[in-house]
């Protein structure tokens, strides 16, 4: 009995421990369960964040591709894809999205005027057409702070117009800035900072690899209804993703004229070339000899700045020799009624000061200057200049006579025509190698409208040796390069590759697969024609076996070229047009009769000739010509920059020209030819107050900012500018063009762009006028090509087909037909951009930047 009681006592003590153990087990299991629950919730959060990241990446990628489309067609993009207007009267946020750049001597914003749309061609080479900022100092910054209207428009188009459409993310910022640059210097803009406090920096110099970098940032918010700082606060951001694209200009060949051969040219029949240079790296037999504005040498037109400043008084006397031994200032005598005094330093005459500018002088005959007295000094000489302050005659070649008078009020059949060859140009018959590079040198006494001694024929142009030889260059068109672009462009609209089908009757397959079709079928871009209807673009037709023929010679090269083609009306299908760049590898290509298949296009005349010698700079503060830092001579701006330059004195963003009746003048067309006053009009060029008073009767005044070209004040003068020849265009592609200006109130306004309405209120970019025209008027022509056609083989035509753009032929050019070829000068200006033609390609895409 005793033992049994002890046992029962021990059991009562153990019952408390069991309870504790049970509780601990329960707690442990509960914690473990909670842990699993927490893990599952974390996984859910991770999955949700990952989904947010993927969604923002997709939105950023879609946004970046939309911005690429802005470059492809800015007019369409402004109407349909959210591109902001470059017109400040339409877009009140325009100033906010543009960053003021400082790159070397250049300062200003991208595309400062409304004449060219944002992101439109040209993309080079002027400061206003290029991007210079880094990522923080982007040239264009579009976000909710700078332009909420555009951000909303982009998101509405990209995602949808409703708030719910943006629940999973939206585009919050678009930046466009410089492409990658090698060898340039990223230079701070003093101490100026960006909105985020970083130092502003812009590129100076270097080599550009592309047109622009595009950065698009997308963000997902917890609560989209918040505004201001609350919306972009970190606590409200679920995730962001940025995508960067580098875009480069579609690298189309840059032709030198309407037709070029890398072998030889021998035109037969009535082959007519218009509006540019025909060139050959071999011999050249020409079939056309129109009247054209003459060439002084292989590089320059006659220096028509001389005579450009009209007047009848002496503007200055240039000291051509200082002499020696002068104890006092010698007396200066100028033939006629002008008077001046001299300055002597160190016994030599150093300067002449006009006292009375006189009147009644002719720009064709310079007054004589003599020096007498001065205490026995000798040897001083000077040259009096009539009317011209900015471009006085220097005595050097083509600077001694008023060449402007030789061109004024004359009509030319084709002012831009030229004929140049590396070999013998047969215009003057067979000549020995190296003799007479310019077949018919220019003479002041030539009749410039006569084609019998045309100055535009050049031969032996195999090197660059100023002034008589300027090397003829055939564009570099590389098979491997273009095949790669076409092959890798699959899926992009406007870039097409075609393989040759050896077993399919000599046709081609788009992308290397599908139905075999003839070459002519594929290249017909018209939506109304019987062809493939692919639209404008790059069309690359491969060789027989897809092998580069440019690495082969002889029979092996010939074997890779596809069979010769000669298209006729049956191939054109009743309505035909090639638009874009067509790359052929035919042994020979040409056309026969076109029938009624040609398409009417609005061809644009080339622009007006100008002398790229800079404009004289006016200092409005001192009311005098600016000579600061220019050795006492008038400073010039814009010389050699490749574009027409002027000084915008009234700040209205365009060149303002004022015209006046031309005084009587004489030209020398084998003999002196008198032209009565008022036969045409000329620019009333800007002059100093004293010279303007002598020549115009009053000092020059600046045209009002609202000046429209037709309503100048009586004392207004043209803004300082480089000399140019105004051409009075017509709307016929075969009509002659006249050099001259018209009265301000009755000048001719013709469209340069399709659909433009032209009057005094029209933009200079849209309509011709007395002002300088970078592009000429439009004229309708019926053609089968609008763009560039290259053939690796020969060209042979027997029909009447017409072309607008350029034909580039690796082999020989021959034929007996009657084709016409008009050059599209926009191909060398970088502004060629028909609707729907791809303009840029994506060089690089970075999509891996994300934040959570």
Least confident of 61-70, 123-132, 230-239, 550-559: 230-239
Least confident of 191-195, 245-249, 577-581, 789-793: 191-195
The closest of 640, 710, 704, 707 to 681, measured between CA atoms, is 710
Q: Which two tokens stand for residue 688?
A: 């100093």
Please give the Cα distance from 60 to 215 (Å, whole number).
9
The closest of 309, 399, 386, 376 to 354, measured between CA atoms, is 386
pLDDT band at 32 (very low <50, low <70, confident <90, very high): confident
Please spell the DSSP secondary structure of 327-352, one letter per residue.
SSPPEEEESSS-EEEEEEETTEEEEE
pLDDT recorded at residue 433: 79
Q: Are 524 and 571 in contact (CB under 8 A)?
A: no
Query: CA triplet 286, 292, 295: central angle to 5 degrees?
Result: 90
Please give the Cα distance from 790 to 783 (Å, whole number).
17
How far apart, in Å, are the Cα atoms of 227 and each of 147, 160, 230, 239?
15, 20, 6, 17
Whether the per-residue pLDDT at 51 is higher than 70: the answer is no
pLDDT recorded at residue 1: 45
DSSP secondary structure code for residue 114 in this structure: T
**Across 784-811, average pLDDT:** 94
pLDDT band at 420 (very low <50, low <70, confident <90, very high): very high
φ, ψ (nearest 5 deg) of residue 790: -115, 135
The closest of 529, 280, 548, 223 to 418, measured between CA atoms, is 280
3-state secondary structure string across 206-254:
CEECCCEEEEEEEEEECCCCCCHHHHHCHHHEEEEEEEEEEEEECCCCC
Identify the bridge partners of residue 667 per DSSP, sorted by sequence position.
673
Q: Is 679 exposed, middle or buried (0-12, 13-18, 19+ CB in 10 A)?
A: middle
Whether the per-residue pLDDT at 441 is higher than 50: the answer is yes
Identify the bridge partners of residue 262 per DSSP, sorted by sequence position.
none
Q: What is the pLDDT of residues 218-264, one digit of tens each?
A: 998 887 777 777 777 777 788 889 999 999 999 899 999 999 999 99
Whose tokens are 């927490």? That residue is 38
Q: Are 87 and 111 in contact (CB under 8 A)?
A: no
Please give the Cα distance from 417 to 640 (Å, whole number).
23
Whether the per-residue pLDDT at 831 is higher than 70: the answer is yes
Q: Which two tokens stand for residue 303?
A: 């220096």
pLDDT recorded at residue 849: 60
Within 8 A by CB and 6+ apart from 536, the residues are: 494, 525, 579, 580, 787, 834, 835, 836, 837
**Across 49-55, average pLDDT:** 65
Least confident of 31-35, 469-473, 782-786: 31-35
Q: What is the pLDDT of residues 446-459, one digit of tens each?
A: 899 988 889 999 99
Whether the per-residue pLDDT at 383 is higher than 70: the answer is yes
Q: Give the distance between the most distant pair of CA atoms in the chain.
A: 163
For 318, the 3-state DSSP assignment is strand
pLDDT band at 48 (very low <50, low <70, confident <90, very high): low
What is the distance, to the nearest Å, from the Cα of residue 58 to the centroid of all Cα atoms in its chain? 34
Q: What is the pLDDT of residues 54-83, one digit of tens each?
A: 788 899 999 999 999 999 999 899 999 999
Q: Which two tokens stand for residue 450?
A: 């006569």
Whether the per-residue pLDDT at 852 is higher than 60: the answer is no
Please state the pTM of the whole predicted model: 0.86
Identify the bridge partners of residue 261 per DSSP, sorted by sequence position.
280, 809
């Amino acid at each position: 009995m005793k033992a049994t009681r002890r046992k029962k006592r021990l059991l009562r003590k153990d019952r408390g421990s069991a309870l504790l153990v049970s509780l601990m087990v329960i707690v442990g299991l509960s914690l473990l369960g909670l842990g699993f629950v927490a893990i599952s919730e974390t996984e859910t959060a991770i999955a949700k964040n990952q989904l947010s990241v993927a969604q923002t990446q997709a939105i950023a990628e879609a946004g970046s591709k939309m911005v690429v489309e802005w470059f492809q067609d800015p007019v369409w993009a402004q109407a349909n894809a959210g591109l902001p207007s470059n017109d400040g009267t339409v877009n009140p946020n325009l100033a906010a999205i543009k960053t003021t750049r400082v790159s070397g001597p250049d300062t200003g914003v991208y595309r400062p005027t409304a004449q060219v749309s944002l992101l439109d061609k040209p993309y080079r080479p002027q400061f206003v057409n290029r991007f210079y900022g880094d990522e923080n100092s982007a040239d264009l910054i579009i976000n909710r702070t700078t332009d909420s209207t555009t951000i909303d428009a982009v998101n509405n188009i990209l995602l949808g117009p409703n708030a719910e459409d943006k629940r999973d993310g939206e585009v919050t910022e678009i930046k466009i800035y410089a492409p990658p640059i090698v060898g340039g210097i990223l230079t701070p803009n003093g101490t100026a900072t960006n909105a985020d406090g970083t130092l502003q920096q812009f590129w100076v110099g270097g080599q550009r690899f592309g047109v622009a970098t595009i950065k698009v940032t997308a963000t997902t918010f917890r609560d989209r209804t918040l505004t201001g700082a609350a919306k972009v606060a970190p606590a409200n951001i679920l995730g962001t993703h940025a995508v960067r694209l580098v875009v480069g200009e579609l690298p189309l060949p840059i032709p030198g004229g309407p037709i070029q051969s890398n072998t030889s040219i021998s035109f037969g029949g009535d082959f007519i070339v218009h509006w540019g240079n025909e060139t050959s790296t071999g011999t050249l037999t020409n079939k056309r000899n129109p009247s054209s504005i003459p060439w002084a040498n292989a590089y320059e037109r006659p220096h028509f700045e001389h005579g450009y400043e009209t007047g009848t008084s002496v503007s200055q006397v240039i000291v051509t020799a200082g002499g020696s031994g002068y104890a006092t200032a010698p007396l200066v005598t100028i033939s006629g009624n002008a008077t001046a005094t001299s300055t002597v330093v160190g016994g030599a005459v150093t300067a002449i000061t006009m006292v009375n500018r006189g009147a009644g002088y002719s720009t064709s005959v310079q007054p004589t200057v003599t020096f007498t007295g001065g205490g026995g000094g000798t040897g001083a000489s000077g040259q009096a200049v009539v009317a011209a302050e900015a471009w006085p005659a220097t005595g050097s070649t083509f600077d001694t006579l008023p060449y402007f008078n030789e061109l004024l009020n004359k009509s030319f059949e084709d002012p831009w025509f030229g004929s140049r060859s590396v070999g013998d140009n047969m215009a003057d018959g067979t000549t020995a190698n190296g003799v007479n590079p310019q077949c018919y040198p220019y003479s002041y006494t030539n009749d410039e409208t006569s084609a019998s001694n045309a100055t535009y024929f050049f031969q032996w142009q195999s090197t660059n040796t100023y002034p008589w030889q300027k090397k003829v260059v055939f564009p570099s068109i590389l098979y491997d390069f273009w095949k790669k672009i076409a092959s890798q462009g699959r899926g992009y609209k406007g870039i097409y590759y075609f393989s040759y089908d050896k077993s399919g009757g000599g046709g081609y397959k788009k992308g290397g697969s599908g139905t075999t079709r003839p070459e002519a079928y594929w290249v017909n871009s018209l939506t109304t024609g019987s062809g493939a209807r692919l639209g404008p673009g790059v069309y690359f037709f491969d060789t027989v076996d897809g092998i580069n023929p440019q690495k082969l010679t002889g029979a092996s090269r010939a074997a890779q070229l596809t069979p010769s083609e000669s298209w006729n009306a049956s191939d054109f299908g009743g309505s035909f047009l090639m638009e874009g760049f067509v790359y052929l590898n035919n042994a020979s290509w040409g056309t026969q009769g076109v029938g009624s298949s040609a398409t009417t296009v609005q061809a644009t005349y080339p622009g007006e000739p100008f002398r790229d010698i800079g404009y004289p700079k006016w200092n409005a503060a001192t009311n005098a010509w600016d000579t600061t830092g220019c050795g006492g001579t008038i400073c010039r701006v814009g010389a050699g920059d490749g574009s027409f330059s002027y000084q915008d004195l009234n700040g209205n963003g365009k060149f303002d020209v004022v015209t006046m009746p031309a005084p009587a003048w004489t030209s020398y067309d084998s003999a002196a030819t008198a032209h009565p006053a008022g036969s045409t009009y000329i620019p009333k060029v800007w002059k100093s107050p004293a010279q303007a008073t002598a020549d115009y009767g009053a000092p020059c005044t600046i045209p009002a900012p609202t000046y429209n070209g037709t309503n100048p004040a009586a004392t207004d003068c043209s803004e300082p500018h480089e000399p140019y020849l105004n051409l009075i265009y017509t709307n016929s592609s075969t009509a002659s063009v006249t050099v001259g200006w018209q009265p301000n109130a009755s000048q001719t306004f013709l469209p340069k762009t399709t659909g433009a309405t032209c009057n005094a209120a029209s933009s200079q970019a849209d309509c011709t006028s007395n002002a300088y025209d970078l592009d000429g008027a439009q004229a309708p022509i019926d053609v089968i090509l609008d763009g560039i056609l290259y053939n690796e083989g020969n060209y042979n035509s027997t029909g009447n087909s017409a072309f607008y753009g350029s034909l580039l032929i690796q082999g020989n050019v021959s034929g007996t037909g009657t084709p016409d070829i008009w050059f599209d000068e926009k191909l060398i200006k970088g502004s060629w951009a028909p609707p729907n033609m791809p303009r840029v390609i994506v060089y690089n895409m970075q999509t891996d930047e994300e934040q959570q």
